[in-house]
Structures are given as structure tokens and as C-alpha cells.
Amino acid sequence: MMTPAQRPYRGVFPVAPTIFDANGNLDLGGQRRCIDFMIDAGSHGICILANFSEQFVLTDAERETVMHAVLEHVASRIPVIVTTTHFSSAVCADRSRQAEAAGAAMVMIMPPYHGATFRVPEGAIYEFYRVVSDAIGIPIMIQDAPVAGTQLSIDFLARMAKELANVRYFKIEVPMAANKLRGLIEKGGSVIEGPWDGEEAITLMADLDAGATGAMTGGGYPDGIRQIMDPFFAGRRDEAMQAYARWLPLINYENRQCGLSACKVLMREGGVIRSDMVRHPLQPLHPATRAGLIEIARQLDPVVLRWGR
């Protein structure tokens, strides 16, 4: 058994998809194979129940089923981040307590939002994270992403890191992410335990140069992201740049053409899972888009296309 990573967590922490069978039901056997592939492909840790996991199409009971199935199967081989986002402070705190009790290493939480218009002011956001921080003893990663439609300033994020005991990690995936990461590190200092890159690594090199220490990407090719990050952290930036140039067409295609379907399509193509079903009303990739994704991926020979064969 691998020794669990110790804090501060660093490296490649991809989002695991939620696996469904051809009828749209949870496929827990496929879920476990997905997790095993992601570990074998070099993930330092994984995140579950995120937006790229289709968390918004799961019932509360299904969320708990997936969480327990994954955490029990991982069995502390690598750290697992559980997304516990909810508009309600109390519900989010309860979800986070459950995740910690089940063995999660961290929780990831977006600021409270609902639909296109329901938002709360900065003071209420602070109290939201305070309630959750007080409820648990594991770190919180704040997901700063456009989908929340909430502006989180550098000063505000740094203040929460300094004043709230468990707010320590930040997944920055807004425009000009590198500038925000750089500013957050400058303002927050040592309390910014994990300044991380997101958005499928499309801005990874700029974010690494700005001080990012982790990347939360799609789950299809952790081995490719490792080829960028490993040499960078070893001081071989030129090698990292060359790897980034190789993998960027696939990263771009995932980010701009496929979205959350990409990793499932790659996993099915490589025999990791039997079905790449996404839940309705989400739609499968157009056959031409699917073919384009696989064509680009084959040129790179990622583990995912060989793992299940």
C-alpha cells in the first residue's frame, strides 16, 4: 500500500468522474476501476463529487454512496478531496463533517450561490466559510470559479486564510488566474498552504510560474499532467515547457470542445469503464467531437488508452 501524502498536498489531483451504466444508474464497479486507473496513471490525489463529477445530477443518497465507495476503495492510498458545496451553511457543514468522518483529506467548497442571481454579500460568505471551518478539522479548498458568479478578491481570500483555521487551499480558475495566484501568495504568505491551478490545466504553465503548487484537472490523463509538473518542480522548466506544448492540444480540446465528457470518453475507449454515459439533460459528445478527442489523445499515448486493454 502506498504511504498517504502529507500536508501540504502538492501535485496532480484530478477530478474523478461519476460513472453511470448505459441506463444512467450508478456503476460502482466502474467507479472503482476509474479510481484504480487514476492512481495507476500517477495521480497524487483525487477529487470527487465536483462539477466535473456531475455532482449536480446526483441525489443526496447517491452522493453518499459514491463518497463511501470511493473512500473505502482508495483505503488511504492517496488523499481524496470531497466536494461538499451547498448554498446552506448548515448543509455544507454537515456534508463536510460526513466527508471527514469517512476519511476525506480535504473538502472543496464554492462560495454560496444559486442560479444566475441568488448571491450573498462578502460578510455572509465569510460567515459561511467560518461555519464550515469550525465544524471540521481538515483543510478547506475554496473553489474560485466563474460558475459561482461571485467575485472573491485577493484581499478577501487572504483575510479568510489568516482568520479561519481550516481555509488553506485555493483552486483559482478565473480569468487572469496567474495574476490572482501571485497576488494571493503575496498577501497571504505562509497561510496559503495550497495555491492551485484549475480549469483542466489550460493555464498551467503560467500558474506554475506564479507559484501554484497543485493542479486539479480532468481525470483522463494524470500521467500527461505529471510530465509537465514533475520537471517543473525539479527545476527543469524548459522540459516542463516542452511537455506543456505537447499536451496543450489535448488540454485545449477537453476544455473548449468536450468539457466533463472528455475523461469518460477516454476511459471507455481504453477499456477502463464500460459506459461513458452522462446524465440527462447533459448530452453525449457529437461523434465528430469524440473522434477528434481520441485522435489527439492517441498521438500522446496516454495511460488511459492502454490501461484496460
Eight-state DSSP code of residue 39: H
Determine the average pLDDT of the residues in 211-219.
98
User: In this model, does residue 4 exceed pLDDT 70?
Assistant: no
Which tens digit of pLDDT belongs to each residue from 32-84? 999 999 999 999 999 999 999 999 999 999 999 999 999 999 999 999 999 99
Q: Which amino acid is at 160?
A: M
CA distances from 248 to 31, 38, 221, 253, 293 (A): 27, 20, 12, 8, 12
Determine the average pLDDT of the residues in 97-120.
96
Kindly report the pTM of this predicted structure: 0.97
Is residue 171 part of the annotated active site? The answer reads yes
User: In this model, does residue 233 exceed pLDDT 80?
Assistant: yes
Cis ω for the linkage preceding 281 (within 30 of 0) = yes
What's the pLDDT at 309?
A: 86
HSE-CB at 117 with a 13 A cutoff on CA atoms is: 0
Are 12 and 44 spatial neighbours (Cβ–Cβ below 8 Å)? Answer: yes
Which one of the listed residues 171, 180, 187, 264 is annotated catalytic? Answer: 171
Burial pattern 98-137, b for ≥16 Cβ within 10 A else e, equals: bbbeebbbbbbbbbbbeeeeebbeeeebbebbbbbbebbe
What's the pLDDT at 2?
A: 42
In angstroms, the CA 76 to CA 104 distance is: 9
Ordered domains of the chain (ranges, CATH): 11-220 (3.20.20.70)
What's the pLDDT at 174?
A: 97
**Known binder of ligand: residue 216?**
yes
Which tens digit of pLDDT belongs to each residue from 62-71? 999 999 999 9
Determine the average pLDDT of the residues in 278-287.
97
In this structure, are strands 80-83 and 46-48 parallel, antiparallel, or unpaired? parallel
Residue appearing with cell numbers 502529507: 6
Mean pLDDT score across all residues of the chain: 97
3-state helix, strand, coil in the chain (%, to 5): 50, 10, 35
User: In this model, does residue 3 exceed pLDDT 60?
Assistant: no
In angstroms, the CA 150 to CA 130 distance is: 17
